[in-house]
Amino acid sequence: MDPRTKSSLLWGIIGGMSFGVLAQAYMIIAEPLPIGIWGVLFGGVTVGTITTVVTYATEYRLMQKGRT
């Protein structure tokens, strides 16, 4: 696997899991979320996907400019 692809996938996993952790912390500290567990799961997948795409595109631009 290409290192750039592997890096972006790992950042996507970190982003999605971070969303889940923050949602759970909010539920523990404040109150239950109105979206439920399926909404949190969908939000985590969405955040992970967006993070993967943005990381992949940004890393390409940084490589072209010689900043990595």
pTM: 0.82
Q: Enter the DSSP assignment of 7.
A: H
Model confidence pLDDT, tens digit, residues 10-63:
999 999 999 999 999 999 999 888 888 899 999 999 999 999 999 999 987 877
Q: Enter the DSSP assignment of 2.
A: -
The whole-number pLDDT of residue 33 equals 81
Q: Where are the domains of the chain?
A: 3-65
Position with higher pLDDT, 66 vs 9 = 9
The whole-number pLDDT of residue 68 equals 61
The whole-number pLDDT of residue 22 equals 95
